[in-house]
């Protein structure tokens, strides 16, 4: 259920400024990830991006797609220090998962 957790988290941070701001108190992306898990959202970095891409394909209008792009930009800035190394990322190729950023 990690993708469901990622989707719930994305929806929550769009309306809950306090949750979003609370993530800035952490010193590293690994600490942020731990804090997110403590809040009940258990997903990996790549699952967040997969969920954003999925939600964008289902978005009813351009405004929502733009908002999702902005959330992804915020996420990449928040988690971009490289302190998380995920060894169990799926092996994939563009033919298997064209929306996956790992294949680009």
* 16-35: pLDDT as tens digits: 999 999 999 999 999 999 99
Q: Determine the Cα–Cα distance for residues 53 and 100; give it in Å rounded to an integer.
A: 8
- Determine the structural domain holding residue 31 and report its residue range: 2-103
Query: How long is the chain?
Result: 104
Split at pLDDT 50, 70, 90, the class of 101 is low
Total of domains in the chain = 1
What are 100's two structure tokens?
């996956």
Q: Which is more confidently placed, 101 or 3?
A: 3
| Model-wide pTM > 0.85 | no
Residue 99 has pLDDT above 60, yes or no: no
Average pLDDT over the chain, rounded to an integer: 86
Q: Determine the Cα–Cα distance for residues 84 and 98; give it in Å rounded to an integer.
A: 24
| Per-residue pLDDT tens over the stretch 45-91 | 999 999 999 999 998 899 999 999 999 999 999 998 878 776 555 55
Report phi then psi at 22, rounded to 5.
-65, -25
């Amino acid at each position: 259920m990690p993708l469901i957790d990622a989707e719930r988290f994305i929806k929550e941070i769009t309306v809950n400024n306090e949750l979003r701001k609370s993530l800035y108190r952490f010193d590293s992306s690994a600490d942020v990830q731990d804090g997110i898990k403590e809040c009940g959202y258990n997903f990996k970095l790549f699952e967040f991006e997969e969920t954003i891409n999925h939600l964008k394909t289902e978005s009813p209008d351009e405004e929502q797609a733009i908002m999702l792009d902005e959330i992804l930009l915020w996420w990449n800035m928040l988690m971009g220090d490289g302190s998380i190394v995920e060894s169990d990322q799926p092996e994939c190729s563009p033919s298997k998962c064209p929306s996956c950023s790992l294949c680009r």
